[in-house]
Amino acid sequence: RKEVEQDPGPFNVPEGATVAFNCTYSNSASQSFFWYRQDCRKEPKLLMSVYSSGNEDGRFTAQLNRASQYISLLIRDSKLSDSATYLCVAPLASSYKLIFGSGTRLLVRP
Amino acid sequence: DAGITQSPRHKVTETGTPVTLRCHQTENHRYMYWYRQDPGHGLRLIHYSYGVKDTDKGEVSDGYSVSRSKTEDFLLTLESATSSQTSVYFCAIKREAGYEQYFGPGTRLTVT
């Protein structure tokens, strides 16, 4: 089993829709998680950090379910500019190294 | 903006030639990382550094070496480039607190 797994998508949604991505992780000792956004041919950029049960920032909500070992990212009122690949990330236990999921691609259509 | 630059941004080289990629940061961070990103594999750690002259291997370090003689520069060297090293290479830094990493703009390397 991969340490961090994501549905690759693509998720194709209309503007204004609500969309959710799930990510599962294998290391139950992980305490913090991150969502990065990556645009085509660009570097990954930090979208949200999740240190406890969840985090909310405007239209974006991240939730952590430790019992089931998954993290979700909810995007409300999708915008065309939300089209990107979203990477789920967890730290490797007892280190400052990160494990990246392969990403979920989101396409928001007019 | 974490003040990270990478050079060159694009490079085409021939199999068997040595190649050095440079990552430069302006904020004096101790932790620096080199990743490669390939379709179907996501980001994979090549090497990382936790201070001047302190480096360690990541999951895909074969064929790569690194050096860090100054805090601000982290160099990645392909001693003898192979076609399997065609990839996009990203450098990242970590601030002293937390686990989040911040990425440079990337170097697109093609080995022919």
**Residue A106 to residue A59: CA distance in whole angstroms:** 15
Burial track B15-48 (b if 16+ CB lie within 10 A, e otherwise): eeeebebebbbeeebebbbbbbbeeeebbbbbbb
Min CA distance, B50 vs chain A (Å)?
9
Name the residue facing B99 among A32, A101, A103 (closest C-beta). A32
* Farthest CA pair distance, chain A: 44
Residues B23-75: tens digit of each pLDDT: 999 999 999 999 999 987 889 999 999 999 999 999 999 999 999 999 999 99
Instruction: Report B:37-76 residues touching A (Cβ under 8 A).
Output: 40-45, 48, 50, 58
Query: Span A51-76, mean pLDDT?
Result: 92
Q: For the segment A16-45, what is each residue's pLDDT rounded down to a tens digit?
A: 999 999 999 988 788 889 999 999 999 999
Site of tokens 């450098």: B91
CA distance B17 to B82: 8
Do the Cβ atoms of A42 and B106 come within 8 Å?
yes
